[in-house]
């Protein structure tokens, strides 16, 4: 029924899982086996993989779990890849891989047939919305999590064969432009603008903002400029376009440094023409109603939203971001028919997205999109308060990246002063930017995260430099090999514990990638490659590669090569480049 085919070699745990489910269905026709999963054992002494699902099944049917387990084992034929299955504790099944099965998986990977993961046979289309900076404001440290997390998720989905549309929903419309237009017309410093456009625009905004706090007539004028812009005034539109161009130029510079890309950049203004129609439909369908002069949607049958109505048209007649987001969602549904739309923003917007999703479900009943808010915690300084510069300013992203590269440059120059300066600069770029990204991705996204140069650029521990160093050690071995041609081993003996542990860990790559997309948590991948780098380090210390001879040498070289490929693929999925030396 399940021959030891290609699937077995790629992801053994899935084959075990499928066979287990079949065995259960034979015994208990009609049972729901969707929750029957095979997972890695928490402790190697129990085996390589386990399932705890039989205990749950036994409980539902009031059976003795160990007796059920015995019957299942009776039905289960996994002898081609496992030692005899053990029943343990209250009803766990423990699987221990045969070395020959492990060896077969490694051989096929070494032949380039796979890299321990299986692309999906049912590709889905997923829209991912991330980054979303505001025009006329410099990107700051608050944008980095959304940008990094969002693009990492996009790459992970793509690696597993899904179609992804990434969309940068930039803030290019809204009330701030009234003040910006006043500032532009009265106080613009062209020199400063050409030096650093976003800083100049930010200055203008702050200037007018504080002026309008003191002087009501300034605010009135700002509103007037905004109305003119919205009515299509030529001069204001031209200024607005210039502000957008200047901003996007600087965003692109940052995205270039971060290696982040988008398929679409449809800002808020793209949906302007649709906003009135959206509100009209909501009113016509009886979803929105008038309240204090605004058009409002109430969620009375919803516990957590009961006291939190959503405004879709302000009393001054203007739409707000809920309306824009509804139009955006409609556009995404119509354009790409995604099965999933993922928003990557900070946790403070949870209420907004609850409202949005609930509202969209009412507006477009029967749509089949899964709407997900993937939120993350704040970035804090080492004092535990929101991360700011010493003078209390928000930290700008460009300066942050500069400092990361500088610190990495100092480190590499100290460790390896003989490398050419140009190479040291490149290493510094890869390590510095990588360190920032990795520090951001390696924690649970929902935790607040404490920004610490020392922690992220530490040379040991779960950091980018440690992982990149592991890659350079592997590269170094292959450099020493020179022109010598590699012989692919026909099998792997895996006599040394370090070889065995490393090999088994390689096989778990696919499982981890699945977990990342299931829960939108790249830290699972970080943990995995950190463990992989650790197992490789032990292997490296204990198992000489180039000094070994014959089959052992070929096998160890292949293990190095496979580890290098998985590390590189994992790191690239996280958005990290790798280097030859460091």
Partner RNA sequence: GCCCUGGUAGCUCAACUGGAUAGAGCAACGGAUUUCUAAUCCGUAGGUUGUGGGUUCAAGUCCCGCCCAGGGUACCA
**Contacts of RNA in 175-214 (CB under 7 A):** 175-176
The residues with which 296 forms a beta bridge, in sequence order, are 289, 311
- For RNA, give the closer residue by CB, 4 or 37: 37
Distance in Å, CB of 93 to RNA, minimum: 8
When asked if residue 44 is in the footprint of RNA (CB under 7 A), the reply is: no
Nearest partner of 568 among 527, 514, 515, 532, judged by Cα: 532
Q: Is 369 exposed, middle or buried (0-12, 13-18, 19+ CB in 10 A)?
A: buried
- For RNA, give the closer residue by CB, 192 or 394: 394
User: Which range touches RNA (CB under 7 A), out of 150-158, 228-236, 305-313, 399-407?
Assistant: 305-313
User: Which range touches RNA (CB under 7 A), out of 49-57, 104-112, 243-251, 392-400?
Assistant: 49-57
CA distances from 88 to 27, 51, 555 (A): 20, 10, 34
Q: CB of 188 within 8 A of CB of 148?
A: no
- The only residue of 3, 29, 30, 43 in contact with RNA, by rule CB under 7 A: 43
- The only residue of 291, 361, 487, 497 in contact with RNA, by rule CB under 7 A: 291
Distance in Å, CB of 390 to RNA, minimum: 20
Task: Tell me the backbone φ, ψ of residue 216, rounded to 5 degrees.
Answer: -60, -30
Q: CB of 376 within 8 A of CB of 304?
A: no
User: Which range touches RNA (CB under 7 A), out of 89-97, 118-126, 207-215, 326-334?
Assistant: 89-97
Number of residues that bind RNA (CB under 7 A): 109
- The only residue of 7, 41, 227, 237 in contact with RNA, by rule CB under 7 A: 41
When asked if residue 350 is in the footprint of RNA (CB under 7 A), the reply is: yes
Q: Is 534 exposed, middle or buried (0-12, 13-18, 19+ CB in 10 A)?
A: middle
- For RNA, give the closer residue by CB, 276 or 348: 348
When asked if residue 293 is in the footprint of RNA (CB under 7 A), the reply is: yes
- The only residue of 187, 206, 370, 480 in contact with RNA, by rule CB under 7 A: 480
d(CA 168, CA 175): 20
Q: CB of 397 within 8 A of CB of 140?
A: yes
Sign of the torsion formed by the C-alpha atoms of 399, 403, 404 and 406: positive
When asked if residue 349 is in the footprint of RNA (CB under 7 A), the reply is: yes
Q: Is 185 exposed, middle or buried (0-12, 13-18, 19+ CB in 10 A)?
A: middle
User: Which range touches RNA (CB under 7 A), out of 15-23, 100-108, 210-218, 470-478?
Assistant: 470-478
- The only residue of 1, 30, 45, 417 in contact with RNA, by rule CB under 7 A: 45
Per DSSP, helices labelled H in 231-378 are 234-258, 272-284, 321-336, 350-363
Distance in Å, CB of 443 to RNA, minimum: 4
CA torsion, points 159, 160, 162, 165, in degrees to nearest 10?
A: -30
Distance in Å, CB of 358 to RNA, minimum: 12
- With vertex at residue 539, the alpha carbon angle to CA 533 and CA 544, rounded to the nearest 5 degrees, is 135
Give, as ranges, the residues between 92 and 121 that touch RNA (CB under 7 A).
92, 94
Give, as ranges, the residues between 547 and 576 that touch RNA (CB under 7 A).
547
When asked if residue 472 is in the footprint of RNA (CB under 7 A), the reply is: yes
Tokens of 119: 């692309």
Q: Is 415 exposed, middle or buried (0-12, 13-18, 19+ CB in 10 A)?
A: middle
Give, as ranges, the residues between 11 and 40 that touch RNA (CB under 7 A).
35-37, 39-40
Distance in Å, CB of 571 to RNA, minimum: 15
Distance in Å, CB of 341 to RNA, minimum: 16
d(CA 503, CA 525): 17
- The only residue of 6, 70, 74, 89 in contact with RNA, by rule CB under 7 A: 89
Helix (H) or strand (E) holding 141: helix 141-159
Give, as ranges, the residues between 499 and 538 that touch RNA (CB under 7 A).
511, 515, 521, 523-524, 527, 530, 534, 537-538
When asked if residue 308 is in the footprint of RNA (CB under 7 A), the reply is: yes
- The only residue of 277, 347, 399, 490 in contact with RNA, by rule CB under 7 A: 347
Distance in Å, CB of 103 to RNA, minimum: 21
- For RNA, give the closer residue by CB, 43 or 191: 43
Give, as ranges, the residues between 424 and 443 that touch RNA (CB under 7 A).
427, 431, 442-443
Give the start-end residues of each E strand in 130-235. 163-167
Give, as ranges, the residues between 363 and 402 that touch RNA (CB under 7 A).
377-378, 380, 384
- The only residue of 256, 399, 461, 490 in contact with RNA, by rule CB under 7 A: 461
Give the CB-side neighbour count of residue 572, counting CA atoms within 13 A.
11
């Amino acid at each position: 029924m399940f021959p030891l085919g290609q699937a077995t070699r790629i992801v053994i745990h899935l084959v075990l899982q499928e066979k287990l489910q079949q065995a259960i269905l034979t015994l208990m026709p009609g049972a729901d086996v969707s929750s029957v999963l095979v997972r890695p054992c928490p402790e190697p002494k129990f085996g390589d993989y386990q399932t705890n699902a039989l205990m749950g099944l036994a409980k539902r049917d009031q059976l003795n779990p160990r007796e059920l387990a015995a019957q299942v084992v009776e039905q289960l034929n996994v002898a081609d890849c496992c030692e005899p299955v053990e029943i343990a504790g209250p009803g766990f099944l423990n699987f221990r891989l045969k070395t020959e099965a492990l060896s077969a998986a490694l051989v096929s990977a070494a032949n380039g047939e796979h890299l321990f993961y299986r692309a999906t046979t049912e590709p889905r289309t997923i829209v991912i919305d991330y980054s979303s900076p505001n025009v006329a404001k410099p990107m700051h440290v608050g944008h980095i999590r959304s940008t990094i997390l969002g693009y990492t998720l996009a790459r992970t989905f793509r690696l597993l064969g899904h179609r992804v549309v990434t969309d940068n929903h930039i803030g290019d419309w809204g009330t701030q432009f009234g003040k910006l237009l006043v500032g532009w017309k009265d106080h613009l410093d062209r020199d400063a603008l050409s030096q650093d456009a976003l800083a100049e625009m930010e200055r203008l905004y702050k200037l007018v903002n504080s002026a309008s706090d003191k002087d009501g007539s300034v605010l009135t004028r700002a509103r007037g400029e905004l109305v003119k812009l919205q009515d299509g005034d030529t001069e204001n539109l031209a200024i607005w376009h210039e502000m957008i161009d200047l901003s996007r130029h600087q965003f692109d510079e940052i995205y270039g440094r971060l290696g982040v890309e988008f398929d679409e950049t449809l800002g808020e203004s793209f949906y302007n023409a649709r906003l009135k129609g959206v509100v009209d439909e909501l009113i016509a369908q009886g979803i929105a109603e008038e309240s204090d002069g605004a058009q409002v949607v109430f969620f009375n049958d919803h516990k957590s939203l009961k006291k939190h109505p959503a405004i879709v048209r302000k009393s001054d007649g203007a739409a707000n971001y809920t309306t824009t987001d509804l139009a955006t969602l409609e556009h995404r549904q119509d354009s790409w028919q995604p099965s999933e739309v993922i928003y990557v923003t900070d946790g403070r917007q949870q209420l907004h997205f609850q409202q949005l999703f609930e509202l969209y479900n009412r507006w477009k009943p029967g749509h089949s999109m899964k709407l997900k808010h993937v939120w993350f915690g704040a970035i804090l300084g080492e004092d535990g308060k929101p991360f700011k510069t010493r003078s209390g300013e928000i930290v700008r992203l460009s300066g942050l990246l500069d400092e990361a590269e500088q610190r990495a440059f100092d480190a590499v120059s100290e460790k390896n002063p003989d490398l050419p300066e140009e190479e040291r600069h490149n290493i510094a770029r890869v390590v510095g930017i990588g360190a920032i990204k990795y520090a951001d991705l390696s924690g649970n996204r929902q935790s607040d995260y404490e920004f610490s140069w020392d922690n992220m650029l530490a040379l040991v521990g779960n950091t980018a430099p440690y992982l990149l160093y592991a890659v350079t050690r592997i590269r170094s071995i292959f450099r020493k090999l020179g022109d010598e041609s590699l012989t692919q081993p026909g099998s792997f003996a895996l006599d040394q514990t370090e070889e065995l542990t490393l090999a088994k860990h390689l096989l778990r790559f696919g499982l981890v990638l699945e977990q990342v997309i299931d829960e939108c948590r790249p830290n699972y991948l970080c943990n995995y490659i950190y463990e992989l780098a650790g197992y490789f380090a032990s292997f490296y210390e204990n198992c000489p590669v180039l000094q070994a001879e014959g089959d052992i040498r070929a096998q160890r070289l292949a293990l190095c090569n496979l580890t290098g490929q998985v590390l590189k693929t994992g790191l690239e999925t996280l958005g990290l480049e790798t280097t030859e030396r460091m």
